Amino acid sequence: MSSLLNDIQSVNLSYLLLVQRLLVEDTEMALIRLGLDQEMADLLSGMSVSQLVSLSSCNQLLCELALDDASQLKGVLQGGRDQDFSAMHTAMLLNARQNDAGLRQGGVSG
């Protein structure tokens, strides 16, 4: 079990370091790709390495699979003949998912 926990913590740290790198290289694109708001982006980009290590030391994955169901994954996999189409299809699914999440969090009043 400790090997699995070590793997989870390693993935978490790698993910957090990647998040920081994406935020530094292109903040606007990172916000879209990661589904973050500006406040969360500011917090993550301002964390020290020791804070990242501390946060990554939990026993839960901090990242999640962005595709919600098997039909979405099947659709992406079936587009394998044309990688450009498959990448575009995946980006559209992820964007729609992020838009839905924003609406559920109160992004639209009415």
First-to-final CA distance of the chain: 48
Residues in the chain predicted with pLDDT less than 50, given as ranges, are: 108-110
Question: pTM value?
Answer: 0.69
Domain 1-64 sits in CATH 1.10.4000.10: yes
pLDDT at 72: 75
pLDDT in tens, 63-85: 987 777 788 778 777 765 565 55
Give residue limits of the domains in the chain.
1-64, 65-110
CA 14, 20, 26, 31: dihedral to nearest 10 degrees?
A: 90
